[in-house]
Structure 1
């Protein structure tokens, strides 16, 4: 037996929480664990041992992207099985720390990072997002809700939490393709500004505002939140954006919200969270979201307190994001015949792994999704109970 094979046989012994089958590059098949295999890992060629030991996330991710590894069965199930096995070397080896990279985010770097991901093209995203082009965690009121309905539920849920009144001003930091500001303008007659660093999102949102005749109530700007000067708002919302600002810019983000918010104003922050301070998975940082950082719950609450924000409500939507990602992953597979004409196989495998591994991460509780509702100083005008937040 060669050294590579011996290393891999040992590695695979306790890597997964579920029974599985492993087919090696020489054709040998070994069953690991007790019971019926839940999936099969095919090694078409070995991955360098040094790469696996130094950064297993990057090594496995690239191994799958470049067809060194194939997965027979559910990709999400494989990743969940990795996460659930607390005895594996991933949870014991110091190399686990190298899953995470913490990087700085200047305004220019933020623009480059956002464009890297979001400017892949509206044609691409429209194939697997819902009709509103909402690219953040949805809100499922029932198991029967379609993705479209759940995304509309999410926007409505956020807008109810903000307790909007006609004539108020609303800022959406990282407005995506504009669904929230358009709904706020139409439903509550507030004056809504959306800002984004993605030119694809900017042009699409501007087009939607014009097509719906909402120029008097809604506007969009291609600008960084740190560049917005001379305006304040009654409400500030940010959905799925703060994960992109970087650890070193979190203080600046909350400071900016404080200066942009009127006294007694209300803000809602909807973001991916962790229970420990960490960067993003190094494979995701390299290929999907460069410069990302997942803040911990305590980190965010601490920064709110420092800025004298009053925390009104905190809600976890973790399993809503699992379900959202499962919808996206299924839509992605359903659109494969079209995507194959636009993107190469490496890209397709990269995105399949991204969507499924994120679903696994939320389902296993490695990461969470929270909505924080807070006010600038004291606000005694909000309803006494939370019933106004739910229709």
Structure 2
């Protein structure tokens, strides 16, 4: 027990810049960086010293999920503090990571991974997403934008970047609950196609297409993007999908986009990114996004170049995603009574850690999100400046 406490004291001493107080399971209290704590971490019981030695991030995350640790103060700001410190335990490379991460996601893995995360239940997601069920970074034109407004802004921002024209064919790879393909057809006159691996998303998207009376202009399929053959599109977009293809499949993805695009066609990838090399997160891979891999921005740009695309535009939306996650968190916490009707406390603490942890990770700059716009061959139909995007 003494060895465990010694290890934990070192972890907390080396990981925080802000004042933090730790209360151990035996009542001992210790403060770091000042006497007025910004956060208090209380251990209700001891934790696994074996797991702590192998991966402190996973050990402490699971202890929080199990209720063995309580945090007083902002969990999000605590995560920000951890990422600001280069000596923090959260930056230690996991010894366990390689055992649960596959370098490539085959079609069966991809299907199972999508089912694990996205088929939790539409009723659950409806409680904290906006009414359009858009589950990706919003775009805030103003600090007072509501979540719904910001998600509408995001769809328009993407479709304007793509310079979509009436009757052009657009493909959304990983179309979620269908908001973009419906808006592209309804508001921009496109002929829209979406594909997803999620049963719940597929069923809901079909319903929304019928509700909007767009059966002749919007189409959705339950399939892997790699199985799409003998089709050509003027525009191809993916929002929050590239993070799911796996490190070993990045080239396959961009090669497939090249195959699907008409000459002069334009594609946009909206993806979480790492500032340098790509990375996995053991907590997210084990509990939230199995098979996930966050590519480095340089990996994406390299793939664009190596697949003979022409890079048109790169934009960071890091602050926008932090704000989106904070709004999702507010909605999540406001609907706990409803969530508890179908989910247990461990699930709730797991998702709280996920939402606030991701917000903190974006806020600290540990991760970013980029929209990367590129064309197959030269496209001289785009306006000369970015002004067309902001009209």
Query: Which TM bucket (shorter chain)?
Result: over 0.9
Q: Does 1:386 align with 2:354?
A: no
Distance 2:149 2:59 in 1: 38
Distance 1:94 1:212 in 2: 48
Displacement after TM superposition at 1:134 (Å): 0.2
Distance 1:8 1:167 in 2: 61
Unaligned 5+ segments in structure 1 are none
SS at match of 1:280: coil
Displacement after TM superposition at 1:88 (Å): 3.3
SS at match of 2:14: coil
C-alpha distance after superposition, 1:103-130 (max 9, x if no partner): 3200111000011000000000000000
After TM superposition, list the pairs within 5 Å mapping 1:305-316 onto structure 2: 305-316=305-316
Unaligned 5+ segments in structure 2 are none
Distance 2:102 2:32 in 1: 35
C-alpha distance after superposition, 1:122-154 (max 9, x if no partner): 000000000000000000001100000000000
Q: Does 1:248 align with 2:248?
A: yes
Partner of 2:372: 372
Displacement after TM superposition at 1:6 (Å): 2.9
Partner of 2:333: 333
CA 1:155–1:245: 2 relative to 1, 3 Å: same
C-alpha distance after superposition, 1:312-366 (max 9, x if no partner): 0000000000000000111100000110111000000000000000001101111
SS at match of 1:67: coil
SS at match of 1:172: strand
Decide whether the 8 Å contact of 2:267 with 2:374 is kept in 1.
yes
SS at match of 1:294: coil
Q: Does 1:113 align with 2:117?
A: no
After TM superposition, list the pairs within 5 Å mapping 1:25-174 onto structure 2: 25-91=25-91, 95=94, 98=97, 101-174=101-174
Displacement after TM superposition at 1:95 (Å): 4.6
Distance 1:74 1:214 in 2: 44
CA 1:90–1:353: 2 relative to 1, 3 Å: closer
Decide whether the 8 Å contact of 2:279 with 2:296 is kept in 1.
no
Distance 1:117 1:109 in 2: 13
SS at match of 1:47: coil
Further displaced range: 270-279 or 234-243: 270-279
Partner of 2:22: 22
Q: Does 1:192 align with 2:188?
A: no
Decide whether the 8 Å contact of 1:268 with 1:373 is kept in 2.
yes
Displacement after TM superposition at 1:387 (Å): 0.3
SS at match of 1:314: strand
Q: Does 1:10 align with 2:36?
A: no
Q: RMSD value over aligned CA atoms?
A: 1.6
- TM-score, normalising length from structure 2? 0.96
Displacement after TM superposition at 1:178 (Å): 0.4
Aligned length: 390
Could you list the structure 1 runs, at least 4 aligned residues long, displaced by more than 3 angstroms after superposition: 87-91, 93-103
Partner of 1:262: 262
Displacement after TM superposition at 1:277 (Å): 2.5
SS at match of 1:195: strand
Distance 1:270 1:11 in 2: 35
Displacement after TM superposition at 1:102 (Å): 4.8
Decide whether the 8 Å contact of 1:77 with 1:360 is kept in 2.
yes
C-alpha distance after superposition, 1:229-252 (max 9, x if no partner): 111000001000010000111111
SS at match of 1:123: helix
SS at match of 1:14: helix
